[in-house]
Amino acid sequence: MRRAVAFVGLLGVVAAGISLSIMPSSRSAAASEPRTFLIPASDGYGVADCISSRAECGQIVANAWCESQGFGKAVTFGVAAREDFTGSVTKQSPAQLAEQPLSITCGE
């Protein structure tokens, strides 16, 4: 009786292993198409200085962000256009520009 229960348990483990091995990986599917991320300018890490000024460190920071999200590298980065995150196209004051989120588009 114990052998029969152990055999049924073994078959269950093998079937589960086979079904998991043939499932597609969602990580590779996400990396195949570009994706844009909006990051608050006041995130506390200081990345806004590099990305918004498009300094040399901006490419490094943007690439690191994309890699942490499962993508290869950053395609574009910078300050997000107002219509991209609110649907509004009104004129902004300099104080409001400082609070605009950052935009990083990641791809392969």
The answer, as to whether pTM is greater than 0.75, is: no
In a domain, 7, yes or no: no
Is residue 103 assigned to a domain? yes
Structural domains in the chain (count): 1
**What is the reported pLDDT for 41?**
81
In a domain, 17, yes or no: no
Mean pLDDT, contiguous 10-residue spans, the chain (108 residues): 64 58 53 83 79 84 91 90 67 61 90
d(CA 100, CA 42): 9
Q: Is residue 60 part of a domain?
A: yes
The phi, psi pair for 66, rounded to 5°, reads -65, -40
Domain residue limits at 53: 30-107
Within-domain flag for 44: yes
pLDDT, residue 66, reads 93
75/60 Cα distance (integer angstroms): 12
**What is the distance between the alpha carbons of residues 47 and 51, in angstroms, rounded to a whole number?**
6
User: 5 in a domain, yes or no?
Assistant: no
Residue 95 lies in a domain: yes
In a domain, 23, yes or no: no
Per-residue pLDDT, 12: 60
* pLDDT at residue 56 in the model: 83
Amino acid 52: pLDDT: 82
